[in-house]
Structure 1
Amino acid sequence: MVNTEQGVCGRTAASRIGAARAALWLVAALLAARQTAAVLTRPPGERLVDLEAWTGPQGVPHLSGPLYDAGRFTGTPFAGLVLRPFADSAQQTLGVVWTFGTLLLVVAIGLVVSRALPVPVSRRSTLLAAPVAVSLLMLSLPVRGSFHLGQTGVIPVLLVLLGCFAARGERSAGLLVGLGAALQPTVLLFAPLLWFTGRRRAAVGAAGTFAGLTALAWAVHPGDSWAYWIHHVAGAGLGGGPGGPANQSLHGALLRLGLQGPAEIALCAALAVVVTVLGLRRAVRYAGDGQMLLAVAITGCVAVAVSPTAWQHQLLWVLLAVVGRVGRRAGDRLLWPVLVVLVTTLPGSMLLPDLVPLHPLRDNTLLVAALAAACGVPFLRLGSPYFRRPVPTEYARPAPARWGAVPLLPFWRRALSRPNLLLELLVIRAGYSVYSHIRAAATGGVDAAEAHARQVLSLERALGIDIEHTANHLVAGVPWAEAFFDFYYTSFHFTVPLAVLGVLWVRRPADFRWARTSLAFATLLALLGFWLYPLAPPRLMPGLGYIDTVHGPQDLANPDYGAMTAVTNQYAAMPSLHFGWALWCGLVVLALAPGLWTKLLGLLHPLFTVCAIVATANHWVLDAVGGALVVGAGFALTHVLSGRRALLLPPRSVPPARAAGTTDAPARTHA
């Protein structure tokens, strides 16, 4: 009987894994189709622009002249030699073949990576790793750059992975790594990794293959080889200025910091030596520990940092570092993979705010991640007791709800421990950046926005709540009132919600998760409103006489070209998140604040906010109603998914002072 039950459970688990695997492969296929379509549907001149750097006016490759005269070809002379056989291909055919070839290479990388995971990996992780790896690769900036630019950056990565994990015999491994180095010189750093991990014949073969292929290219293209290796110092300065933000190497970062000349070269060389020594030592140590894939990723990150130029399509090594495990607590385990995925998926401008002190970090996010992986991140060893079993997170059950039939998600649990602060900040910042981009893209045109505004105004007149014009002119006629509401509108929209979240994170970690989730749901629902119902605020309605007290006069004849249009979507007014977020703050304070006066003080913020958005002509009254609706829906969704805010604590979580007087019944808490 027991064996029968175990068999049924095993088949059920296997079917679930199979369904999850099929769903993940579908996601990977959709991402691949999207990337392919995004390239092939672009007109000539806007797709595969680096590939077109060596195509002539008739659409066929022209490699008869010098490779580097135009400054756009960035590959090695050997890469130019490899591209010669395409000289008879038409541009359209070449573009299609190149795009689908890149797609196959990316899938091959995902398959090799999934098979190279460290030994103590569950069967479920092994089955799901391949589609997850392919999906992450498709989303990453390096792969997207390779697709859109027509670059060869994924080829050296695949060659190294094949040499380290798939090649039979050291001779073939050395041949593959050496071929990758001939296409991307810093890949030669894998030769020391092979040497110090006991594969010395492969290391010698890699160096010999690189030297032979480079010599062959020098013999065929002596002028190009001189230009690449001597004049441009292994490609430095090709494809754009090395001091531009696209060059994510130590050399590029020092140039962006203002260093020039011999001092910059000396400092860059010294830093490169330090990074190489530290990184390779760490890579060898993790390879000896059985984590060869992590060792390969660390060595690739070293190559990124010390290369004279490390363009976006060459930075795939940083994403491979996601395989390392960091943190003893289960709650901290996601920090490193989320950081790596965000850094390799989103530009630095979306990860960090546009503040001058943060510019050095914002402009070098990929380099910082590569240096961290190479030299600093304390990845766990396989022998660590926390590698497979981190310190578990303690969860609490929701208190019984009045509506017992509400279907709560079985995997949605509220943790009692304080969440990782850096992880929360990363997710909040990245989420807000994505929200800002979607909000900016959710434009429906000026005519539609003004038509919707007339609909809202007509409804308000029918309800007798069209007070915007009166309130706007009343406040604009009182200087101190105008100054106060302008200041309130521009100053407290972000600071108060962040302050509330900060206090909850410190004092009430379980309630922080409840409040943060409800705010996130409300914001997502608001995006639907921006997208489906673009709405002109009162200040942008021509002929109605509203005074824009915050932004000053606008060019209402051409509102698409107004000064504020470059900052944000001016027609994302319904619902009002200015009021929605303020109402969220008031309700959270009302629910959690200890004293009556504190609760009442918290309610002043949404009151002042609704007065400010109406008085400054930035929103209609019904916009505030919409903001209240999405906030209510956010709290409702959180309740449906995770239960009541009140929690049932496990007995061991009861403080000692209370534990003496408790019974066997679980304790109830609101924290």
Structure 2
Amino acid sequence: MALAALWLLAGLLAVRQAAVVLRLPPERRFSDLETWIGENGVLHVRGSLYDTDRFTGTPFSGLALKPLTKAAEHALGIFWTFGTLLLVVAVALVAARALPGPLTRRAKLLAPPVAVILTVLSLPVRNTFTLGQTSIIPVLLVLLGCCLPAIARGPGRASGILVGVAAALQPAVLLFAPLLWLTGRRRAAVTTGVTFAACTALAWAAMPDDSWTYWVHHLAGAGLGEKPDGLANQSLHGLLLRVGLRGPLELALYAPLALAVTVVGLRRAARYAKDGQPLLATAITGCVAVAVSPTAWQHQQLWILLAVAGRVGKRRADRLVWPVLVVLVMTLPSTILVPANPVLGPLGENAPLLAALAAGCVVPFLSRDSALWDEPLPTPVAEPQRGRFSWVPLLGFFKRSLNRPNLLLELMLIRVFYWAYSFVRAQAPDSRTLAESHGRQIIGIEEFLHIDVEHGFNHFVAGTGWLADSMDYYYGTFHFLVPLSLLGFLYLRRPATYRWARTALGFATLMALVGFWVYPLAPPRLMPGRGFIDTANGPQDLSNPDFGALTELSNQYAAMPSLHIGWSLWCGVVIAIVAPKLWMKALGMLYPVLTFSVIIGTANHYVLDALGGAFVVASGFAIQYALTGPGRGTLAVIPGARGESDALKPEPVRAGG
């Protein structure tokens, strides 16, 4: 069933990608392809291919594309889309076939659909689809020549021809010739050079002026296309230009850096190729090509995704860090990976280049003869325990892990989860009419239950200056500060408690997002005619549907349930569980009480919102309990859970996945 579901997902993603491209307006579809073969494209005219600097391919690629100009424009668009889709699937299947063995039967079955899914979702492939680029072809040719056993283990002639043609289409691929030489496939290396020279000479004979322009005037295409100092150019050359270096100084620094990355990367690639990891060796060499090329646009960065084939980490808990990092970098925009601020922003903007440099020169991939290749250090887990209440069903899907999770992986997933939370909350329905209607429903229910205390308390707070200022500061600061601080403390001092606590918090937040979608609700401060006072933002123009600039920050109608109460109650429960002193537990439970006072006093939530927040937190703990079972009995043997040493008692704990 899992295999069928993965193949279905892969097919749906592939079809969706093709549909997205074909549904684009003609002026936005295949912009690069239209530049080449359109009615006024450079391949139609008799002048130079490079008159406008928009054609970035080699003269040989222009020569190869010329026959396509005879096809009708619409037929060519459909043909190009599905042809590219087939090439992408072929790349994924060859990569899955080249994974180093021995692989389990399950891994052999699941690897192809997973490879297709990751490839289709990657930014380079999506960019290739939209632009109508040909950059997927060199990747496929190199994979066939270097990784497919039927070809790679042959005499070398076929491998050399495939890689040579790829280099004629994308000159940076010529770096694979030294890799072939270093791994003992010297005939293939020589054939690569001869094939590249023959294809280039053929293009030179057919288009001498264009060949001179490309290879000499533009230094192998370095001056073509977009500005090389733009963020789209993820190469060392582009990075140096972005930091302000120009002219001879930039070249003097770029040349030794590129040489050092090439030497280190090729030596590492050769070592892993001899170790029986041809896919990893190919990925490392491709990452080196991305880094040292004068220009490395997004559609040329698929090599980085292939680096997920490498295994990294001694512990089983660390094995996912590298592949997750690569997948996030190659599938998500930089603004999702890191906040857009002056300190972390440059890391996200140059994330593909940093990932390429890490794969090529830094990451300590395991060799196949390592004792940790198939058997990494296991994760200590607690055996399932019986629940206190027999009527509560325990699913037992996951055993409770007892060690500290990988920090980098946690930070990456927390960042992506928070971005997804912010995005979904912002995209939730924000109809003013519906939200105000729900607000009147809430007020009516509270009046019926005689718990409508919001108006009176809000006016009391607004009339007390120091109290209003304190509550406004509390509302905007503690909501994030306290949960993050508590998570940090748990991670450092109570690692297993951190695991179940953050899992419960995650489920509670997901359920809150459902509430934002299902029941958009106007908070008291945005209810017209009710007399509430917005103590934090001042009077709002309720006759303006946008309520001024305030609504540009977030969805103002995501009030039910109140995550201010939800997150603060989560903090209180966790503190009450882990705190060693009674006064600490009482102080922890006081935090949600203070938060309740603040959200009512500042007119940001209703009493029923608070009950909704408490409900989602209780549900989060309940779901976590059902999945992993009770954990109270394991606290004594959790490393650091009670402040003891990391020694584990052997009876209730065993090593497992």
- TM-score > 0.5 by shorter chain: yes
Q: Following TM superposition, by how much is the alpha carbon of 1:658 offset from its aligned partner in structure 2, in angstroms?
A: 11
Tell me if the contact between 2:127 and 2:299 (Cα under 8 Å) persists in the aligned partners. Answer: yes
1:392 to 358, 374, 378: 378
1:71 and 1:561 map into 2 onto residues whose CA distance is 47
Tell me if the contact between 1:650 and 1:667 (Cα under 8 Å) persists in the aligned partners. Answer: no
Q: Does 1:478 align with 2:478?
A: no
Q: Following TM superposition, by how much is the alpha carbon of 1:579 offset from its aligned partner in structure 2, in angstroms?
A: 1.9
Q: Does 1:469 align with 2:467?
A: no
Q: Following TM superposition, by how much is the alpha carbon of 1:82 offset from its aligned partner in structure 2, in angstroms?
A: 2.0
2:78 and 2:541 map into 1 onto residues whose CA distance is 46
Q: Deviations over 1:547-594 (max 9, x none)?
A: 333334545444448423333222222222122111111111112211
Tell me if the contact between 1:407 and 1:641 (Cα under 8 Å) persists in the aligned partners. Answer: no
Give the structure 2 partner of residue 109 of structure 1: 91
Q: Deviations over 1:225-276 (max 9, x none)?
A: 3443344333335332222222111112222222222212221222111100
Q: Which one-letter code corresponds to 1:197 in the other structure?
A: T
Give the structure 2 partner of residue 365 of structure 1: 351
Query: What are the within-5 Å matches in structure 2 for residues 139-158 of structure 1?
Result: 139-158=121-140
2:323 and 2:72 map into 1 onto residues whose CA distance is 42
**Cα distance change on mapping 1:608 and 1:262 into 2, 3 Å:** farther
Give the structure 1 partner of residue 326 of structure 2: 340
1:321 and 1:402 map into 2 onto residues whose CA distance is 47
Give the structure 2 partner of residue 46 of structure 1: 28
1:178 to 164, 182, 190: 164
Give the structure 2 partner of residue 311 of structure 1: 297
Q: Following TM superposition, by how much is the alpha carbon of 1:208 offset from its aligned partner in structure 2, in angstroms?
A: 1.9
Q: Deviations over 1:409-437 (max 9, x none)?
A: 44411111111111111111111112222
**Cα distance change on mapping 1:232 and 1:623 into 2, 3 Å:** farther
1:127 to 109, 133, 138: 109
Tell me if the contact between 1:535 and 1:574 (Cα under 8 Å) persists in the aligned partners. Answer: yes
Q: Deviations over 1:334-362 (max 9, x none)?
A: 11111111111112211112231112212
2:638 and 2:470 map into 1 onto residues whose CA distance is 51
1:36 and 1:663 map into 2 onto residues whose CA distance is 56
Q: Does 1:118 align with 2:95?
A: no
Tell me if the contact between 2:495 and 2:639 (Cα under 8 Å) persists in the aligned partners. Answer: no
Tell me if the contact between 1:475 and 1:482 (Cα under 8 Å) persists in the aligned partners. Answer: yes
1:238 and 1:120 map into 2 onto residues whose CA distance is 45
Tell me if the contact between 2:540 and 2:547 (Cα under 8 Å) persists in the aligned partners. Answer: no
**Cα distance change on mapping 1:448 and 1:242 into 2, 3 Å:** farther
Query: What are the within-5 Å matches in structure 2 for residues 196-595 of structure 1?
Result: 196-404=182-390, 406-560=392-546, 562-595=548-581
Secondary structure of 2:383's aligned partner: strand
Tell me if the contact between 2:576 and 2:586 (Cα under 8 Å) persists in the aligned partners. Answer: yes
Secondary structure of 1:50's aligned partner: helix
Q: Does 1:100 align with 2:86?
A: no
5+ long unaligned stretches in structure 1: 1-18
Q: Which one-letter code corresponds to 1:79 in the other structure?
A: S
Q: TM-score, normalised by structure 2?
A: 0.92
Give the structure 1 partner of residue 69 of structure 2: 87
1:597 and 1:535 map into 2 onto residues whose CA distance is 37
5+ long unaligned stretches in structure 2: none
Secondary structure of 1:357's aligned partner: coil
Q: Which one-letter code corresponds to 1:50 in the other structure?
A: D
2:165 and 2:173 map into 1 onto residues whose CA distance is 9
2:435 and 2:28 map into 1 onto residues whose CA distance is 32
Q: Which one-letter code corresponds to 1:258 in the other structure?
A: G
Tell me if the contact between 2:35 and 2:41 (Cα under 8 Å) persists in the aligned partners. Answer: no
Q: Which one-letter code corresponds to 1:46 in the other structure?
A: R
**Cα distance change on mapping 1:484 and 1:150 into 2, 3 Å:** same
Q: What is the aligned-residue identity percentage?
A: 61
1:183 and 1:315 map into 2 onto residues whose CA distance is 15
Q: Following TM superposition, by how much is the alpha carbon of 1:181 offset from its aligned partner in structure 2, in angstroms?
A: 1.3
Give the structure 2 partner of residue 601 of structure 1: 587
Secondary structure of 1:394's aligned partner: strand
Secondary structure of 2:382's aligned partner: strand
**Cα distance change on mapping 1:222 and 1:627 into 2, 3 Å:** farther
2:358 and 2:538 map into 1 onto residues whose CA distance is 46
Q: Which one-letter code corresponds to 1:126 in the other structure?
A: K
Q: Following TM superposition, by how much is the alpha carbon of 1:643 offset from its aligned partner in structure 2, in angstroms?
A: 0.7
2:484 and 2:56 map into 1 onto residues whose CA distance is 45
1:506 and 1:280 map into 2 onto residues whose CA distance is 39
Q: Deviations over 1:134-178 (max 9, x none)?
A: 111112111121122222222111110011123354111111111
Tell me if the contact between 1:396 and 1:649 (Cα under 8 Å) persists in the aligned partners. Answer: no
**Cα distance change on mapping 1:387 and 1:451 into 2, 3 Å:** same
1:543 and 1:212 map into 2 onto residues whose CA distance is 81
Tell me if the contact between 1:61 and 1:87 (Cα under 8 Å) persists in the aligned partners. Answer: yes
Q: Following TM superposition, by how much is the alpha carbon of 1:447 offset from its aligned partner in structure 2, in angstroms?
A: 3.0
**Cα distance change on mapping 1:82 and 1:395 into 2, 3 Å:** same
Tell me if the contact between 1:472 and 1:547 (Cα under 8 Å) persists in the aligned partners. Answer: yes
Q: Deviations over 1:371-390 (max 9, x none)?
A: 01100011111111001111
Deviates more, 1:70-79 or 1:643-652: 643-652
Q: Which one-letter code corresponds to 2:6 in the other structure?
A: L
Q: Which one-letter code corresponds to 1:629 in the other structure?
A: F
1:376 and 1:261 map into 2 onto residues whose CA distance is 29
Tell me if the contact between 2:496 and 2:639 (Cα under 8 Å) persists in the aligned partners. Answer: no
Secondary structure of 2:343's aligned partner: helix
1:613 and 1:115 map into 2 onto residues whose CA distance is 57
Q: Following TM superposition, by how much is the alpha carbon of 1:667 offset from its aligned partner in structure 2, in angstroms?
A: 8.5
1:55 and 1:571 map into 2 onto residues whose CA distance is 50
Q: Following TM superposition, by how much is the alpha carbon of 1:36 offset from its aligned partner in structure 2, in angstroms?
A: 1.8
Secondary structure of 2:29's aligned partner: coil
**Cα distance change on mapping 1:254 and 1:551 into 2, 3 Å:** farther
Secondary structure of 2:551's aligned partner: helix
Secondary structure of 2:31's aligned partner: coil
2:232 and 2:358 map into 1 onto residues whose CA distance is 19
Q: Following TM superposition, by how much is the alpha carbon of 1:538 offset from its aligned partner in structure 2, in angstroms?
A: 2.9
Q: Following TM superposition, by how much is the alpha carbon of 1:98 offset from its aligned partner in structure 2, in angstroms?
A: 1.4
Q: Following TM superposition, by how much is the alpha carbon of 1:534 offset from its aligned partner in structure 2, in angstroms?
A: 2.3
2:636 and 2:184 map into 1 onto residues whose CA distance is 51
Q: Following TM superposition, by how much is the alpha carbon of 1:311 offset from its aligned partner in structure 2, in angstroms?
A: 1.3
Q: TM-score, normalised by structure 1?
A: 0.90
1:298 and 1:552 map into 2 onto residues whose CA distance is 56
